[in-house]
Each structure stands twice: as structure tokens, then as C-alpha cells.
Amino acid sequence: MLNLFGTGVALITPMNEDFSIDFIGLEKLINHVIEGGADYLVVQGTTGESATMTKEEKKQVLAAAIKINSNRLPIVYGLGGNNTTAVLGEIKQTDFSGVDAILSVCPYYNKPSQAGIIAHYYAIADASPVPVVLYNVPGRTVTNMTAATTLTLADHPNIIAMKEASGNLEQCMTIAAQMTKDFLLISGDDMLTTALRAIGGSGVISVLANAYPSVFKTICHGSLEESRNATFSLLDINPLMYEESNPVGLKYLLKEMNICGDAVRLPLVKASENLSKKIKAAMI
């Protein structure tokens, strides 16, 4: 079984000032998170600005990540959308060499019913040559995947995990209480990772682990007390990552750490002077 326990890093896509991909920065970032104790890499998720990347650019970033990683960690590739037919077409056109699983977001904008969500994911899981990780993030998609929907989908042999970013701990507890021992409940919220660990969660797909992989190593693999204290250390900086939308704050933080630049693509813009000052003051 694919081991996705611990810290998955939702990698940013470093960019040059002309908005082209900064492959040197990507190499520096991947080496930074691997050396810091990350357990797997997530390429082209929301944090990677997948919404404003072309299909060709996504392939280029994936190929570069696979080469840089050099089989050190599992790689999960973001492949989802709100047009099921288009997602199936993208699966057919993707070279999955070096990809261990896909992360597929709940369909957004269309506002499908729970039955529609189930049918969407069944189609993807049937077509995908690698395992599928579900992604529930109603703050972005509007539609929440209920615990019952997650548990129904968990019965599909090619669906192995749920990245839960609803922020609804009772919903997460219902999933944890009824899921099979082979299904993984992964936190989609950095600050709730310890809480999900306590109820049977297997780790996190993290934003801040781009900057602080060693902190998340403690959060995911330390004792619960160590995990709790490591999470508390992020209380000041975490909300700043989302104040002007992810990954704006994170890219500024990584610039301050001399890992890569802070360029983001429109409609996102670089961190404001006010946010930049707050991030500098909160850095750990």
C-alpha cells in the first residue's frame, strides 16, 4: 500500500518576475523540504497556482519535480476539476511515470449534489492508473463533501484517502470512526493536524511545510504533546498565509528565507507592504 503518512508538502510553483516558472527555485524548494523531513510531495495543488498554469506548464513542473526528487519521496499530482469529461481526458493524456497518486478536488462552481460528487469520483477512480486522494475544501468549492459521501467513496478500491479541509471536526470524527483501517484521513488544514492525529488522522498536506518542514515533522511524528507545542508555534504566522490568499503570504515568507522569489500570477498580486511587515515579525 502507498504510504502517505506524515507530512505531504503542497508545493508552490516558484516563478520569475516575468511569471515564467523558476525551475532553479523549484529545485531549491524540493531539496529544502526533503532535507527538512517531509514524507511526500504534492505537485500542482491549489498552493501550486494550478488554476493559472497551462497544461504544458503543469507537465513541465511535474517532470521537473520527478527529476529533482529522484525517487526520494512519493509524489502526488493534482489532477481534478469541475468538468468530469475533461478530467478523464487529462488522465488519458498524462504520463504517470514517477507519480504515485493523484489529488482530485471536489468539483467547484457547478455545486453538484452528493450523488453527483460520488459519480464524478467513481469515474475518475475507474480511469486513473494510480490511487486517488479525495480533496474536500468547501471554502473554495462551495460544496461540502459529507462524511457519508466520503465513506461511500472510501469503498472504491482505487480511492485511498481524503484530504479534509472543511474545518468541521465533527464531520472528520464521523469519517474516522467509520472508515476502514486502510483508508487515510489527511488534514487539509495545517493547524488542525494535531487534532486529526488524536482521532485517527494520518498527517497533513501542508502549506506552511514549504517553509517549515521540520516543524511539521514534529507535528506529524512527535508525541502528541510535542505535536501540540509545534502547532502552537505557528499560531501567529499561519493566518498571514491566507490574509491576501494562498500562496501570496507563503511566497513572501520563502523569499525572506532565500528559497525562491515571491512572484505570483494574476489575479493574485504580491504581498502588500502591510502584510510583508507582519510576516517578517511573525517568522519563526
Is residue 252 annotated as a catalytic residue, yes or no?
A: no
Closest listed residue to residue 51, CA positions, set 23, 30, 82, 75: 82
Pick out the residues of the known binding site for pyruvate. Answer: 47, 205
Closest listed residue to residue 183, CA positions, set 132, 245, 119: 132
Closest listed residue to residue 182, CA positions, set 205, 206, 162: 162
Among 40, 121, 163, 255, the one annotated catalytic: 163
State the Cα–Cα distance between residues 187 and 94, nearest whole angstrom: 27
Q: Per-residue DSSP letters for 213-239?
A: HHHHHHHHHS-HHHHHHHHHTTTTTGG
- Cis bond before residue 267 (omega within 30° of 0): yes
Among 40, 77, 121, 135, the one annotated catalytic: 135
H or E segment and range at residue 32: helix 23-35
Q: Cα-flanking dihedrals φ and ψ of residue 133, to 5°?
A: -105, 120
Q: Cα-flanking dihedrals φ and ψ of residue 120, to 5°?
A: -60, -50
User: Kindly report the CA angle at 225 between 220 and 226, in degrees rounded to 5?
Assistant: 50
- Cis bond before residue 239 (omega within 30° of 0): no
Whole-angstrom distance between the N-terminal and C-terminal Cα of the chain? 36
Is residue 251 annotated as a catalytic residue, yes or no?
A: no
Which residue in the block uniquely carries the three cell numbers 497518486?
101
Q: Which residues are catalytic?
A: 135, 163
